[in-house]
Structure 1
Amino acid sequence: MGALQQTRFQVSGMDCASCASKIDTAVRRLPGVSDVAVSVTTQAMTVHHDETTDLPALARKVSGLGYETVVANRVATKPLAQPSTCCGGHAHDDSHHDDHAHGDHDHGRNPAAAKAAAAASPGLHGHDHGPMSGPWWASDKGRLTLLCGGALVAAYAVGHLFPQFASEAFLVALLVGLVPIGRRAIMAALAGTPFSIEMLMTIAAIGAVVIDAGEEAAAVVFLFLVGELLEGVAASRARRSIQALSDLVPKTAFLDDNGATREVPADTLVPGNIIRIRPGDRIPADGDIISGESAIDEAPVTGESVPVRKTVNDAVFAGTVNGEGVLRVTVTAAAADNTIARVVRLVEEAQEAKAPTERFIDRFSRYYTPGVVVVAALVAILPPLLAGGSWSEWVYKGLAILLIGCPCALVISTPAAIAASLSAGARRGLLVKGGAVLEKLGTVDTVAFDKTGTLTEGRPVVTDIIAFTVEKSDVLRLAAALDAGSSHPLALAILARAEADGIAYPAAEASSALGGKGVTGMVGQQKLFFGSPRAASEIAALSAEQSGAIQLLNDDGKTVSVLVIDAQVAGAIAMRDEPRKDARQALAALKAGGIRTVMLTGDNSRVAEAVGRDLGIDVRAELMPEDKQTIVRELKAEGAIVAKVGDGINDAPALAAADIGIAIGGGTDVALETADAAILHGRIADVAALIDLSKRCMANIRQNIAVALGLKAVFLVTTVVGITGLWPAILADTGATVLVTINALRLLRVRA
């Protein structure tokens, strides 16, 4: 059994869902092709095929439809079996994630393959579906529109100066625009799409000439080209919204090379390289700080408005901006795998997957367009045959209905809104893996959160310092002396607090750790012990007052360590993994929106209940990973639509079991791969933002469908009763398409 291969193409010139549909239909008909995913926004096509597929012929087939096509790369993925379908099945079908391996994108483009494919599918210079990367008037589509408009103006001039040649002049003006349209219509029909907008346009224009409406036909063709041009401009804007993310990463970096610094291309950096980042520079790669301290502006990547203070051992991300300090950073990810590249990759893959609504519209349009052709034919033929109507009048009305019935606005209503929403979310650090996930998010009524690293910061901090026989500063100073050099999370919390309070601590002598109890040592002539209350009580008796104070702290879910000086209890320090700053407010916002929240944690009940009380959330504690998964399934069995939010490997089973799995923060690779969505910068409020993004997207889709069908219904009636004709008909189509696209682009406006 052969290997199923995946080849990715760059397809320039697509500007609407009809373009993608024609390409999809044509490629699926080729031998050996098992699945196709086409993204208008990213101008990409991913083809799953076996070794029998003729890739140069495939590229020529797409180029024949009017789209410049080159191979981006080719990857063998798995034994040939049941083809994966990104568009169908359950939202958690992992085949989509497997098929889009990290190495399958343009970052690893094969120059030889691209060159060979380019030779097989030469660029269609002068073709009206060329790429639109520059100003609109410099594009092939823009030039064709201007040429057609110029020909139309010239025809009007000839008709005014030489009326006897008016018909011929308008016929020439018509052919300037209609020949490329007709060529695309024929190629689309041969490739399996007979009822394309180009075919409808061609039939209507030829019919108008037959009934001596050539002047109007020429104007309608020009208006059609203007509408297509506007679609291209809008599509280019949507593409730029995600391409702008890639532009955040600088092109060069300053590499430390044996003590010398030299400038190198950023995409040549590999893990282990050490780079120097100057104040004000964008960071060229993901990495860990090895020297220096600075405030990092992460707003370009995460949307976080306040710069984050970072120092040695802290992680930094490509595309963020260094503040005032010089940093030396060890690179941890190659250019193809840095934060920005991963965001772009996930958005590209998401935009290639269709939402249920989009799939329904696609199926509907397959019957809708032939139905419109039938209705138009009946309107043109029946009244003259049955009621003695004028053939020219009713054929004219039939041709107008043919244009009104074009499904472009309807077909683009869903993918335009989804693409804009995915791009807007990515710019805020909200990643959604496909339209199906985006659509489902808006229906969530229950959110299950992990505790450590999700609702909480993931690291303990000092919350209370209690002095019994010495000053609080002395308690902290001596505890820090004993913990100096330790990597234990509790020790790091104490050392961080001492540094924050500006407390200098001496070096402890003869220090040693007592497993499960604490640490002992000498500072000056003082013999010290710092550890658990139970171990401390074995050295010095705790009074009732002291035990009561420690118990109150324990009841709040805090871990308490007791300081003993020369066999006398001197003080205590309480620590806890504190909730994220926005957690309480974010959970309250979810509840206000009618969404139930619950905490699922493996932590002990005392600590979990204390955090739960602080945040006002239901708690299920002391759970194993499989227990979390079971609870999620139980919630679903009760009829709930469940989103699970977590950041660790132990969350992966529950993330997969939930209707929607959301990875939060940096997360682990396992969590990110298992999840359906990701929140890059760890704000709990962004869970509500994801749900809101989904609801706004679905509202936009409903508006788009209403505009697309509403305008067609109005103009259908007015055309039949004789109020409107061909001009308003094409305006009803192109106008609706432009309105729908502009409405979808409103979603690109990022909400804070």
Structure 2
Amino acid sequence: MAESVTQSRYRAEGMDCASCAAKIDTAARRVAGVEDVSVSATAGTMTVRHRAGSDLAVLERKVTGLGYKVFPLAPGAAAQAGPAPTCAHAHGHEHGAPERNEHNHGASHSDAPPQAAAPSAAAARPVPWWRSRKALLTIASGLALVAAYGIGKAFPAVEGVAFLVAMLVGLMPIARRAVMAALSGTPFSIEMLMTIAAVGAVFIGATEEAAAVVFLFLVGELLEGVAAGRARASIQGLTQLVPNTALVVRDGRPVETPAEEVEVDAVVLVRPGDRIAADGIIVSGESTIDESPVTGESTPVRKGPDATVFAGTVNGDGALHIKVTAAAADNTIARVVKLVEEAQESKAPTERFIDRFSRYYTPGVVVVAALVAIVPPLAFGGAWDAWIYKGLAILLIGCPCALVISTPAAIAASLSAGARRGLLMKGGAVLENVGRITAACFDKTGTLTEGKPKVTDVVAFATPEAEVLRLAAAVEAGSSHPLARAILARAEDEKIEVPAAADAKAHGGKGVSAMLDGREVFLGSPAATAERSPLSAEQTARIAALNDEGKTVSVLLSGSEIAGAIAMRDEPRPDARPGLKMLADAGIKTVMLTGDNRRTAEAIGRQLGIEVRSELLPQDKQEIVMDLKKQGFNVAKIGDGINDAPALAAADVGIAMGGGTDVALETADAAILHGRVADAAGMVEISKRTMRNIHQNITIALGLKAVFLVTTVVGITGLWPAILADTGATVLVTANAMRLLAWKPQA
């Protein structure tokens, strides 16, 4: 009988770049009994699938031996909230990470205890870049270089020794990281290439240049860390939107409680101006809610009882009592952060190709450098010093750092920028695919429309419109039916005072009635009303015209008189038409797939200018998606993630619409949190912009190396330009990727 396989999860302290994750992954896979390993540099976690009888103490010792600390996490616990690191280099260093997480791959680590908590404002804050260990090492190296230059001028006899000491100040930590990388299975790291080049330069008498090159290397690393830190700050800022405490109402009194301890179904008081500490539903009070920190919407939204609110948004002018619907670890902000962390670990096809390419590229560069150093002197009588110098320069030029970071830096920045605006994509592969779609299939109800009926027409037959609405609202008062709520909402909007009615009755399938001002008032379907009092030809024609527009019509009977009619329809979202136009302008075919009746669907379709397929079952929607794919379209299906599940799964990209619900976050490949149709076009836009950015980055990385490779071989450039070609390209690539953090969808 096969031994059962189980799963264990750890927080890995000191891991903050892709190289760190790769080293831990390699070490863990070599432990007996380990079946699979998933290491997330972004989340700082390691998930291990292993046979039930495996000795995990061996695993922990192996990872600790690499210079990291691991702490078991309870099942379902989240890793410590913190930045979402974007590795600006494919090698091990801290890149301006929070001080407690900095590491030099072999240096000691903080002994701070693990924190298994939901994201919160208490997460570790990054130190200023100029106080990081990397900055202090760079400053020390620079001062040593200046001192060596001064000593060399004052005492020429010891100039070589002075520059050797200056070089060692910066090189020792680099060499230590190189050894750690080699022992963990990464022999061709940039640290190793840098160490070989610096030591080789000393042997051929270029000590001053070697010291300068080490200093320039450290400056480049520091600049990369500063640029990459912006991506980490983007998600870190999201976790800090949720306040540390909440006012929980207990025995009628508000009690200040840590936000992570607030339980589901608790009622919290949110005062005017306070930030909301948990997802929930308003039970009493009315106020404007500033949702811009979470949704990017500039206009505050007025909300009252039964309205949904999200953690991290800001209460406006009124006190609110909110019933909590999600614990701190499960609120919208926490789930968005978790999704982005997971997405950043899901590699795009381009990124996987670059990773495979770099595995062969770096050893190839080492071989080329060796041939350049050896072949000309041996075969053509060239000067050994000159050609060894060129070979060392080629080692530095050939470092793949800029190339390796070209894709993940852009993807991480885009995922972060999208998440802050409610566009969630589950990984780099999804981000790439969204930009390739050529057809978008939309659900109707709740996706293109509001998902609830609204009064569109108040028709006066024998009574003025305001009186028709007043009487209808009086009859419907107290009802929770969607059509009744639509009428009451319209009456409230028009500030109509609704009188109290007596003897209210519901007539199953026909309508409702009540006594008002001594007469019976009935509101029901045209057929039910006609049974009580016949409709004229003109009235029947008017009702038929409204029905042809996809509207539901209720007729008001006051006594025996046909007073008027009220038409209602689930209206399109305000941004639906412009959103669909944005997709059409991008060359994307748009289709509405709905189970609604043909007349209603076509009326909405005409209003939005979209092709309509109506009266569909879930399997019909799936077949249409498959048919479009057979026609050569790259298909996106946009729906609510529940009854559209078959079609979402069949599409090239499934996009769930929803206001932060579990379904919206967990179903399909991507989610539009805030229900805006225009956000689908925004998702396409950021995907295309990301791919352009990646292509620019690859061109910068390879282009600079090609130029300097040629100039080095012909003797125009040397070690200094070589290291600038590496670190300069990496800084340019990272800075270019970080531009994506400023992305905003079109208005």
CA contact (8 A) 1:456 1:579 kept: yes
Matches within 5 A, 1:216-365: 216-365=209-358
Q: Deviations over 1:339-393 (max 9, x none)?
A: 1111111101101111110000000000000100010011001000110000110
User: 1:391 aligned to 366, 371, 384, which one?
Assistant: 384
User: 1:615 aligned to 592, 608, 613, which one?
Assistant: 608
User: 2:658 aligned to 665, 671, 674, which one?
Assistant: 665
Partner of 2:534: 541
Partner of 1:3: 5
User: 1:190 aligned to 177, 183, 199, which one?
Assistant: 183
CA contact (8 A) 1:511 1:520 kept: yes
TM-score (norm 2): 0.92
CA contact (8 A) 2:247 2:268 kept: yes
CA contact (8 A) 2:660 2:674 kept: no
- Could you tell me how far 1:468 is from its partner in structure 2? 0.7
Partner of 2:618: 625
CA contact (8 A) 2:271 2:318 kept: yes
Q: Deviations over 1:596-621 (max 9, x none)?
A: 00011111111111000000001111
Which of 655-664 and 18-27 deviates more?
18-27
- 1:576 aligned onto 2:577: no
Partner of 2:673: 680
TM-score (norm 1): 0.91
Matches within 5 A, 1:444-459: 444-459=437-452
- Could you tell me how far 1:60 is from its partner in structure 2? 5.2
SS in 1 for 2:523: strand
- 1:528 aligned onto 2:521: yes
- 1:137 aligned onto 2:130: yes
- 1:31 aligned onto 2:32: yes
Which of 627-636 and 443-452 deviates more?
627-636
Distance 2:221 2:245 in 1: 38
- Could you tell me how far 1:564 is from its partner in structure 2? 1.2
- Could you tell me how far 1:670 is from its partner in structure 2? 3.4
- Could you tell me how far 1:492 is from its partner in structure 2? 0.5
SS in 2 for 1:282: coil
- Could you tell me how far 1:224 is from its partner in structure 2? 1.3
- 1:435 aligned onto 2:428: yes
Which of 535-544 and 172-181 deviates more?
172-181
- Could you tell me how far 1:624 is from its partner in structure 2? 1.6
Which of 414-423 and 160-169 deviates more?
160-169
- 1:214 aligned onto 2:207: yes
- Could you tell me how far 1:71 is from its partner in structure 2? 2.7
Distance 1:141 1:590 in 2: 46
SS in 1 for 2:644: helix
CA contact (8 A) 1:39 1:45 kept: yes
Partner of 1:413: 406
Distance 2:489 2:81 in 1: 40
CA contact (8 A) 1:647 1:667 kept: no
CA contact (8 A) 1:37 1:352 kept: no
- Could you tell me how far 1:563 is from its partner in structure 2? 0.8
SS in 2 for 1:329: strand
CA contact (8 A) 2:13 2:101 kept: no
Matches within 5 A, 1:373-522: 373-522=366-515
CA contact (8 A) 1:428 1:750 kept: no
Q: 1:704 to 1:438 in 2, by over 3 A?
A: same
Which of 693-702 and 44-53 deviates more?
44-53
Distance 2:361 2:432 in 1: 24
Q: Deviations over 1:500-534 (max 9, x none)?
A: 11112222222211111111221122122211111
- Could you tell me how far 1:535 is from its partner in structure 2? 1.0
- Residue 595 of structure 2 aligns with an amino acid whose one-letter code is G
- Residue 406 of structure 1 aligns with an amino acid whose one-letter code is C
Partner of 1:69: 69
- Could you tell me how far 1:3 is from its partner in structure 2? 3.1
- Residue 614 of structure 2 aligns with an amino acid whose one-letter code is A
Q: 1:125 to 1:393 in 2, by over 3 A?
A: closer
User: 1:153 aligned to 146, 156, 160, which one?
Assistant: 146
- 1:550 aligned onto 2:552: no
CA contact (8 A) 1:286 1:339 kept: yes
- Could you tell me how far 1:537 is from its partner in structure 2? 1.1
SS in 1 for 2:570: strand
Q: 1:145 to 1:65 in 2, by over 3 A?
A: farther
CA contact (8 A) 2:594 2:616 kept: yes
Q: 1:122 to 1:587 in 2, by over 3 A?
A: closer
Q: How many aligned positions are there?
A: 712
Q: 1:74 to 1:163 in 2, by over 3 A?
A: farther
Distance 2:101 2:400 in 1: 30
Gaps of 5+ in 2: 83-99, 111-124
- 1:170 aligned onto 2:163: yes
CA contact (8 A) 2:78 2:329 kept: no
Q: Deviations over 1:444-494 (max 9, x none)?
A: 111110111110011101000011111111211111111111111001100
CA contact (8 A) 1:13 1:130 kept: no
SS in 2 for 1:649: coil
Gaps of 5+ in 1: 76-101, 109-120
Q: 1:50 to 1:352 in 2, by over 3 A?
A: farther
- Residue 69 of structure 2 aligns with an amino acid whose one-letter code is T
Residue identity (%): 66
- 1:590 aligned onto 2:592: no
- Could you tell me how far 1:107 is from its partner in structure 2? 6.9
Q: Deviations over 1:694-720 (max 9, x none)?
A: 001110000000000000000000000
CA contact (8 A) 1:256 1:276 kept: yes
Distance 1:737 1:62 in 2: 29
Q: Deviations over 1:149-179 (max 9, x none)?
A: 2222222222222222222222222222222
Which of 159-168 and 576-585 deviates more?
159-168
CA contact (8 A) 1:295 1:323 kept: yes
Q: 1:227 to 1:24 in 2, by over 3 A?
A: farther
User: 1:706 aligned to 699, 703, 723, which one?
Assistant: 699
Q: 1:3 to 1:295 in 2, by over 3 A?
A: same
Distance 1:126 1:661 in 2: 41
Distance 2:476 2:459 in 1: 18
Partner of 2:96: none
CA contact (8 A) 1:65 1:184 kept: no
- Could you tell me how far 1:255 is from its partner in structure 2? 1.3
- Residue 593 of structure 2 aligns with an amino acid whose one-letter code is L
- Residue 29 of structure 1 aligns with an amino acid whose one-letter code is R
Distance 1:125 1:724 in 2: 31
CA contact (8 A) 1:297 1:321 kept: yes
- Could you tell me how far 1:24 is from its partner in structure 2? 3.6
- Residue 14 of structure 2 aligns with an amino acid whose one-letter code is S
CA contact (8 A) 1:127 1:141 kept: no
- Could you tell me how far 1:52 is from its partner in structure 2? 5.6
SS in 1 for 2:532: coil
Which of 382-391 and 204-213 deviates more?
204-213
